[in-house]
Amino acid sequence: MPVPLLSILALTPLAAGIIVLLLPAEKRSLIRGIAFATSLFTLAVSVIIFFRFDTTAGGYQFIEKMNWLPALGISYHMGVDGIGAAMELMAGIVVFSGVMVSWRVEDRPREFFAFLLFLAASVFGVFASLDLFQLFFFFELAVFPKYLMIVMWGSPKTREYGGMKLTLYLFLGSVVALIGVLAVYFTSGLRSFDMLALEQAGLALEFQRAWFLVIFVGFGVLGGLFPFHSWAPDGHVAAPTAVSMLLAGVEMKVGVFAALRAGLMLLPEGMRYWAPLILVLATINVVYGAFIAMIQKDFKYVIGFSSVSHMGLVFIGFATLTREGLTGAGLQMFSHGIMTALFFAVVGMVYDRTHTRDIRELGGLFRTMPIAMLGFVIGGLVSMGMPGFSGFIAEMPIYMGAWQTAPIVAIISALSIVITAAYILLVVRRVFFGETPEGIRAGLSDISLMDKIVVVLLSLILIVIGLFPSVLVPWIEAGVRHILVLTGGA
């Protein structure tokens, strides 16, 4: 029997989280050690899954299937396609980085790391779910650690508001999506939540058109789709660093991933029918998000809104329903995950030392924390779509997809490139260069070795993908091939 790698990936953090909770709170080093070992282990497993995935064969691999509630047609069904494998790897990297930068959390580390591991289990589970109910199960598993981590460890001023807003938005979105999922379940006549079966169910075109938006937008809320994006900046800003990294880096991908799996892949005709609407909304995401990011005074809000802008490109890629667009969307999911984790990590490192996120109160930080500056600049270059970095590799196919279906979308969205360049460069200059204001000088110090490892690791990934796209593209393409079969595209 083959090793159930995906179950190991999803369930290890769950088990480790429970073990951590059972330990006495004073055993801080042991708790940190377990969290670190678990994140390193899941990173290793995700790397193994990624490289053992056969991109030529494509399809779903590493499949595990067991009955769960046979009476309801629910099974425990794990498996990944190329996109899923890439997402697992991305999540593995971000979870590992999140644990590393949280090393110095002194406030109730036991609960903190336990919840972080639960969150990890949730995202690993979603990306591997081939059963709709199970997907939903893992999807919702994240709600409770997310909420608690924001309100307990978040920034004191806004954590209640941010945590509440985030939870309500996402809860509402997932309830709507659940209704859609149930409609699919009943209408298909299969009485099964098995997505492989549902993909082939041949749902009536009218049904697909009627129910598509419910599922796609319901899950899309977590992906930050306009006009349901406003939880994202508030939530990201309120959250502690590691949670911001996981939220913007991985959780937003969980949203679009679920929208892709349950919306686009089960109801392809619905996607085709509603594509113009999604394109319009996503274009607003891209341009409006960039404009709002530009006028922010809070360092972290800049990044929060930039995520809204960048996630719009993923939706554009989906809605083009072309090979290029879908490939670009998959690449963007990966690239943005790593990039935004890097951004939030650096923002956290700056905040820990200066205790302010107001851009006007910061300055000259390159002198004390050069590596952090370098990481932020590299993230910034990715963000502005600079060729040679992963952002360009992702955006290029998305734009080409848009050219094939709606050229105007490409033209309008491209505006965001210059706006992004403007705000990123301004932030880099104000925060890292110039004079250091008197008020923040006292606490300045270089970032720790673990922080440096995170910054360098994430930066290198962004550069390597930018220079050698073939390290990632075949996985995404393997997934896209299957999607195109379902949508009937070429």
Partner 1 sequence: MNILSAHPLSLILFLPLVGAVVLLAFPAAKVKAIRGVALVASLIPLALTLVLWGSYRAALTVGEFKFVENYPWFTSIGSSYHLGIDGVSLVMLLLTTLLTPLAIMTSFNIKERVKAFMILFLVLETGMLGVFMALDLVLFFLFWEIGLVPMYFLINQWGGEKRNYASLKFILFTMGGSLGLLLAIQMIGVVCGTFDLVTITASWPALQGGELFGIPIATVKAIAFWAFVVAFAIKVPVWPFHTWLPDAHTEAPTGGSMVLAGVLLKLGGYGFIRLVLPLFPAESARFASWLAALATAAIIFGALAAAAQTDFKRLVAYSSINHMGFVVLGIAAAAWAGGQTNPTLRESAVIALNGAVLQMFNHGLTAAGMFFLVGVLYDRAHTRQLAEYGGLFAILPVYGAILVFISMASLGLPGLNGFVSEFMIVRGVWPIFTLFIALAMIGLLFTAVYVLKALKLTLHGALNEKWVGKLTEISRRELVVIIPLMLLVVIIGWWPAWILNLINQTVMTWF
Question: Judging by DSSP bridges, how do beta strands 74-80 and 61-69 pair with one another?
Answer: antiparallel
Q: Residue with structure tokens 């409006």? A: 288
The count of residues interacting with partner 1 (CB under 8 A) is 33
Regarding 276 and contact with partner 1 (CB under 8 A), the answer is no
Q: Which residues of 35-54 are buried (b: 16+ CB within 10 A; e: fewer)?
A: bbebbebbbebbebbbeebe
Regarding 426 and contact with partner 1 (CB under 8 A), the answer is yes
Interacting residue with partner 1 among 3, 429, 443, 449 (CB under 8 A): 429
DSSP 28-80: HHHHHHHHHHHHHHHHHHHHHHHHHS-TTT-S-EEEEEEEEEGGGTEEEEEEE
Regarding 386 and contact with partner 1 (CB under 8 A), the answer is yes
| Selection from 290, 139, 305, 284 nearest residue 218 by Cα | 139
Amino acid sitting at position 203: L
Interacting residue with partner 1 among 411, 449, 460, 471 (CB under 8 A): 411
Min dist. Cβ of residue 385 to partner 1 (A): 9
Min dist. Cβ of residue 193 to partner 1 (A): 33
Q: 334 with 327: CB under 8 angstroms?
A: no
Nearer residue to partner 1 within complex by CB, 276 or 407: 407
Interacting residue with partner 1 among 396, 444, 453, 484 (CB under 8 A): 396
Min dist. Cβ of residue 404 to partner 1 (A): 6
Regarding 360 and contact with partner 1 (CB under 8 A), the answer is no
Nearer residue to partner 1 within complex by CB, 101 or 331: 331
Regarding 76 and contact with partner 1 (CB under 8 A), the answer is no
Min dist. Cβ of residue 468 to partner 1 (A): 8
Regarding 400 and contact with partner 1 (CB under 8 A), the answer is yes
Segment contacting partner 1 by CB under 8 A, of 8-16, 57-65, 115-123, 465-473: 465-473
| Selection from 64, 60, 59, 61 nearest residue 77 by Cα | 64
Interacting residue with partner 1 among 11, 47, 403, 436 (CB under 8 A): 403
Regarding 226 and contact with partner 1 (CB under 8 A), the answer is no
Regarding 125 and contact with partner 1 (CB under 8 A), the answer is no
Helix (H, G, I), strand (E, B) or coil at 414: helix
Interacting residue with partner 1 among 72, 277, 425, 460 (CB under 8 A): 425
Residue 366 CA to residue 383 CA, distance in Å, equals: 20
Regarding 283 and contact with partner 1 (CB under 8 A), the answer is no
Residues 119/171/67/475 CA torsion (nearest 10 deg): -60
Neighbours of 307 (CB within 10 A): 28
| Selection from 217, 122, 221 nearest residue 169 by Cα | 221
Residue 116 CA to residue 236 CA, distance in Å, equals: 15
Regarding 52 and contact with partner 1 (CB under 8 A), the answer is no
Interacting residue with partner 1 among 344, 392, 423, 475 (CB under 8 A): 392
| Selection from 79, 12, 77 nearest residue 42 by Cα | 12
Min dist. Cβ of residue 400 to partner 1 (A): 5
Regarding 388 and contact with partner 1 (CB under 8 A), the answer is yes
Regarding 436 and contact with partner 1 (CB under 8 A), the answer is no
Segment contacting partner 1 by CB under 8 A, of 108-116, 212-220, 228-236, 466-474: 466-474
- List, in sequence order, every residue forming a beta bridge with 402; answer none if it has no partner: none
Q: 255 with 224: CB under 8 angstroms?
A: yes
Q: How far is CA 69 from CA 77, 175, 343, in A?
A: 12, 21, 42
Min dist. Cβ of residue 388 to partner 1 (A): 5
- List, in sequence order, every residue forming a beta bridge with 129; answer none if it has no partner: 78
Residues 308-347 binding partner 1 (CB under 8 A) are 323-324, 327
Regarding 248 and contact with partner 1 (CB under 8 A), the answer is no
- List, in sequence order, every residue forming a beta bridge with 482; answer none if it has no partner: none
Residue 22 CA to residue 24 CA, distance in Å, equals: 7
Segment contacting partner 1 by CB under 8 A, of 56-64, 282-290, 415-423, 454-462: 415-423
Nearer residue to partner 1 within complex by CB, 428 or 450: 428
| Chain-centroid distance, C-alpha 239 | 15
Interacting residue with partner 1 among 113, 469, 478, 479 (CB under 8 A): 469
State the residues that interact with partner 1 by CB under 8 A: 323-324, 327, 381, 384, 386-388, 392-393, 396-397, 399-400, 403-404, 407, 410-411, 414-415, 417-418, 421-422, 425-426, 429, 433, 469-470, 473, 477
